[in-house]
Chains A and B, each alone.
Chain A
Amino acid sequence: MERIQPASGALADAYIAGCRVGELRLQCCSRCGLHQFYPRIMCASCLSDELEWVAATGRGEIISFTVVRRPISKAYEAPYVVALIQLQEGPTLMSHVVDCAPEAVAVGLPVQVAFAPWSESVTLPVFTLDSQRGNSS
């Protein structure tokens, strides 16, 4: 059984193409400078259609999380951590926090992007605890 795959579309495909080459892509508005996620056909602030893909730093902070104990399907191995990550550039996205015990996850911890295969053709961003920044802050 396969995990849920992202629905296809021109903007989503460009985003996923970035993931495949190890880049977390955000849109940046050439007119007002806003970084936005998820990708849209226009800037959600000034409505300009002059949007550029930029590579995010991949650093962010956990603003909330949960440990899913009953998985949504057999393709997902519980427990897994679903988190909301606020990126340094501003936007928030949903992802997994991986490579740590669920008990180690907390609101406010810094995280760093990593990439995980979701199917043969799809790679998606996940996050790991950023121990370097976690220790220094």
Chain B
Amino acid sequence: MSSLRGKVAIVGAADTRVGVVPDRTATELCIESVLLALADAGIGKDEVDGLVTCNSMAQPMLYHAEAIAEYLAITPRYCFAAGAGGGTTFSVLHHAASAILTGMAEVVVVAMADSLRSGLTRDQAMLMQSSTGHPQYEQPYGPTVPAYYALIAQAHMARYGTRPEHFAEIAVACRAHAARNPAAQMRESITVDDVLNSRMIADPLHLLDCSLVSDGGAAIILVAAERARAFRQSPVYVLGVGEGHGHEHISQAQDLTASAARESGQRAYAMAGLRPADMDFAQLYDCFTPTVLVELEDLGFCAKGEGGAFVSEAGIGPAGQLPVNTHGGLLSHCHPGNPGSMFALTESVWQLRHTAGERQVANARYGLLHAQGGIMSSHSTLILGREEG
């Protein structure tokens, strides 16, 4: 089987307004993201023959992608809605790239949106949170979503001496990136003390260790590399992609402090023929601060157990050794649920086009993107580049 490396490219990328967007439903945000991405790529809707979405929690539909196609009045030959929680985005990229190479479609739009901030009733929000764990053996104990991730944080602290200050520094770094992004939901700078003094939600996680609840949508357009040069934007190439799926429920995890991000990352690096040190930036899934720390280790940016030291000493802010979440991440840019990593994807496209404005990483050539769903369960890693190889 031949590798995907350099064979597909992103030729359009766009975000809707994010944060609090009460004047758009989740469906409308999804449609708007498609329209903006088509305009960015300079193509019409009838050139699209593949559409991938993820379902919305605020406006769920049995056939979500088909409903979006219908709304747009297009009739794609490749059309599905995917759901793997936060890991959906790059897993979908993997599938869509494969679909292009096997001739299932030529121009694939990946569009995801939701309105968790303005579109969910209290009961829907409650149901979403309480349905996260195992329905027989976890949910009765009333773990909240932050509590699941707190279990990972606490285990890491006990095993490696990681401190709440290390987690706090991740929130501070994401906010520093967001301060340079006019689109971000939260831009006011914060300090480690601000994080540590914010309300305790589930020990050791404070309010500012937790990501935002947002409205918003984003879309990208994927085509074969040989077609990509005909588009108006500089193409951004898919160089490596990999997945790893370890468990679903946290009580079944083989190891609380290491995840299938290791396998996911190794597969992506092997395909790209690149190493962690080659990456000019990384966008790491940050629903809660500890996930970033574990991902830094599992993706090989530092040794296992040294995530805290890496964050403190090498740095992941705008001036750090490895800028992480250059748009502000789920912690400070926006987090509308399952579409969350789409914003890491569009941001990476702009970074590799060198059009990211004040937050541009100088001479960025390669970027690594990582997403996870479940409770550090389902992982996908994507490596993008400015050139085909």
Chain A residues proximal to chain B, CB less than 8 Å: 3-7, 9, 12, 15, 37-38, 63-73, 75-76, 80, 82, 84, 92-96, 102, 106-108, 118, 124
> B151 contacts A84, CB within 8 Å?
yes
Jot down 9 A-B pairs with beta carbons below 8 A, ordered by A: A4-B140, A6-B135, A7-B135, A37-B137, A38-B137, A63-B155, A67-B200, A70-B201, A94-B133
> B140 contacts A124, CB within 8 Å?
yes
Report B240-254 residues with CB < 8 Å from chain A CB.
250-252
With contacts A72-B130, A84-B250 taken as known, whether A66 is within 8 angstroms of B147 at the C-beta atoms is yes
With contacts A66-B150, A84-B250, A94-B250 taken as known, whether A118 is within 8 angstroms of B140 at the C-beta atoms is yes
**B199 cross-chain contacts in A, Cβ below 8 A:** 69
Q: How far is the CA of A7 from the CA of B251 in the complex (A)?
A: 17
With contacts A73-B126, A94-B250 taken as known, whether A3 is within 8 angstroms of B142 at the C-beta atoms is yes
With contacts A3-B142, A107-B154 taken as known, whether A67 is within 8 angstroms of B134 at the C-beta atoms is no
With contacts A73-B142, A82-B147 taken as known, whether A66 is within 8 angstroms of B203 at the C-beta atoms is yes
Report B117-149 residues with CB < 8 Å from chain A CB.
126, 129-130, 133-144, 146-147
Give the total of B residues in contact with A, Cβ under 8 Å. Answer: 36
**B201 cross-chain contacts in A, Cβ below 8 A:** 69-70
Question: Is B10 among interface residues, defined by CB-CB distance under 8 A?
Answer: no
> A80 contacts B203, CB within 8 Å?
no
> A82 contacts B252, CB within 8 Å?
no
Report B146-172 residues with CB < 8 Å from chain A CB.
146-147, 150-155, 157-158
Shortest Cβ distance from B203 into chain A, in angstroms? Answer: 4
> A92 contacts B136, CB within 8 Å?
no
> A4 contacts B142, CB within 8 Å?
yes
With contacts A65-B154, A92-B252 taken as known, whether A72 is within 8 angstroms of B144 at the C-beta atoms is yes
Report B374-389 residues with CB < 8 Å from chain A CB.
none
**A6 cross-chain contacts in B, Cβ below 8 A:** 135-137, 139-140
Tally A-B pairs: CB < 8 A: 109
**A106 cross-chain contacts in B, Cβ below 8 A:** 158
Tell which of B143, B147, B158 touches A108, judged by Cβ atoms closer than 8 Å: B158
Tell which of A5, A68, A75 touches B147, judged by Cβ atoms closer than 8 Å: A68
CB-based nearest A residue for B251? A94
Q: How far is the CA of A37 from the CA of B134 in the complex (A)?
A: 12
Tell which of A3, A7, A15, A82 touches B143, judged by Cβ atoms closer than 8 Å: A82
Q: How far is the CA of A15 from the CA of B136 in the complex (A)?
A: 10
Shortest Cβ distance from A60 into chain B, in angstroms? Answer: 12
Shortest Cβ distance from A22 into chain B, in angstroms? Answer: 18
> B203 contacts A69, CB within 8 Å?
yes
CB-based nearest B residue for A38? B137
Shortest Cβ distance from A1 into chain B, in angstroms? Answer: 11
Shortest Cβ distance from B72 into chain A, in angstroms? Answer: 38
Question: Is B202 among interface residues, defined by CB-CB distance under 8 A?
Answer: yes
Q: How far is the CA of A73 from the CA of B139 in the complex (A)?
A: 12
Shortest Cβ distance from A100 into chain B, in angstroms? Answer: 15
Q: How far is the CA of A9 from the CA of B129 in the complex (A)?
A: 22
> B136 contacts A7, CB within 8 Å?
yes
Q: How far is the CA of A76 from the CA of B140 in the complex (A)?
A: 10
Q: How far is the CA of A65 from the CA of B202 in the complex (A)?
A: 10
Tell which of B130, B135, B153, B204 touches A73, judged by Cβ atoms closer than 8 Å: B130
> B151 contacts A80, CB within 8 Å?
no
**B154 cross-chain contacts in A, Cβ below 8 A:** 64-66, 107
CB-based nearest A residue for B135? A7
**B133 cross-chain contacts in A, Cβ below 8 A:** 94
Shortest Cβ-Cβ A-B pairs, 3 listed: A66-B150, A107-B158, A7-B135
**A70 cross-chain contacts in B, Cβ below 8 A:** 144, 146, 201-202
**A38 cross-chain contacts in B, Cβ below 8 A:** 134, 136-137, 252
Shortest Cβ distance from A43 into chain B, in angstroms? Answer: 15
**A76 cross-chain contacts in B, Cβ below 8 A:** 142
> B144 contacts A67, CB within 8 Å?
no
Shortest Cβ distance from B163 into chain A, in angstroms? Answer: 14
**B142 cross-chain contacts in A, Cβ below 8 A:** 3-4, 68, 71-73, 75-76, 80, 82
B142, B146, B205, B256, most chain A CB atoms within 10 A? B142
**A73 cross-chain contacts in B, Cβ below 8 A:** 126, 130, 142
With contacts A72-B143, A94-B141 taken as known, whether A12 is within 8 angstroms of B202 at the C-beta atoms is no
With contacts A80-B142, A94-B250 taken as known, whether A64 is within 8 angstroms of B136 at the C-beta atoms is no
CB-based nearest A residue for B143? A82
